[in-house]
Amino acid sequence: MTRMENSPTAAGSGASATQAFRASARDGSGSASPERVSAVVTEILRGVHRTIREQQVSYPEFQAAKQWLIEVGEGGEWPLLLDVFVEHEVEAVAAATQQGTKGSILGPYYLPDAEKLPAVTELPMRDGEPGTPLVFTGQVRDVGGDPVPGAELDIWHADREGYYSGFAPHIPDGNLRGVVVCDGQGRFEISTIEPAPYRIPTDGPTGKLIESAGWHPWRPAHLHLLVRATGFRPITTQLYFAGGDWLDSDVAEATKPELILEPVPQPDGRNRAEYDFVLEPA
């Protein structure tokens, strides 16, 4: 446990994403050839050099940048910073060869091994979990339109305050997270609450950058999903809410028009939203 992980500050969320990243076995590390490393890093450095010349970057600015980069590392915010400002471009490259449901970025707050839940279920939540109740329902199908029995929806989202369990010390582990196993027709019905928009923590180095640049720190409210089934290419995506704040100015540039839910208020006070997922063969 790091100091930041127990911190009650919002920046603690961004910081503990480093722990989570290290704990998860991410693929791809150490596999790049010298040619690939040289090609990519040369281009990155060219971009930096060009910016320095074009913007006439000064020594004080260069030193301030170094100081800030050190703080990003010490504050554990590399996953937060990279997922907010860079991941959408990597996702766009992946999306170019992807059929079926549109993907979106994973972000820094995924945790593997969430509780397995049946097709009709309620996500783990606190007694009296605040927020508008949401019934999220739909079906997973293949590109030919046939149902995918037993597909898994690994779902996680923020609470009504924009905090994620596992990354905010006041929220119980596993809150608003689960692996929903669809029925024999690929169908699911998940009861949860609607999340709030997410604000990048303003008290860490990522927030400091956003404030210094005069940008806003918001992401629109969203559900995160990994949709997977044996024999199919898994999809990492997010679903947003029609009419919600920041839909058109997501700081992480991760919205797509195909990924917007239209929740309909029910007589019982709950909102109901339907979404069907389409998986392509692996």
Report d(CA 21, CA 43) in Å as an integer: 26
Report d(CA 259, CA 262) in Å as an integer: 10
Least distance CB 279 / ligand MBD (angstroms): 22
Report d(CA 207, CA 199) in Å as an integer: 9
Does residue 133 sit in helix, strand or coil?
Answer: strand
Report the residue from 4, 11, 83, 232 that binds ligand MBD according to the rule CB under 6 A.
83
Contact 6, 68 (CB under 8 A): no
229 binds ligand MBD (CB under 6 A): no
Closest residue to bound ligand MBD by CB = 107
208 binds ligand MBD (CB under 6 A): no
Selected range binding Fe ion among 33-41, 104-112, 123-131, 248-256, rule: CB under 5 A: 104-112
14 binds Fe ion (CB under 5 A): no
Least distance CB 147 / ligand MBD (angstroms): 29
Report d(CA 14, CA 85) in Å as an integer: 14
Give the Å distances, CA to CA, from 29 to 23, 56, 152. Answer: 14, 35, 26
210 binds ligand MBD (CB under 6 A): no
| Binding partner of residue 140 among ligand MBD, Fe ion, none, CB cut-off 5 to 8 Å per kind | none
Contact 76, 17 (CB under 8 A): yes
Q: What's the DSSP call for residue 6?
A: G
Report the residue from 75, 76, 100, 107 that binds Fe ion according to the rule CB under 5 A.
107
| Binding partner of residue 252 among ligand MBD, Fe ion, none, CB cut-off 5 to 8 Å per kind | ligand MBD
Residue with tokens 């990519």: 40
Least distance CB 84 / Fe ion (angstroms): 10
Nearer to Fe ion, 109 or 232 (CB): 109
State the residues that interact with ligand MBD by CB under 6 A: 80, 83-84, 105, 107-109, 198, 219, 252, 254
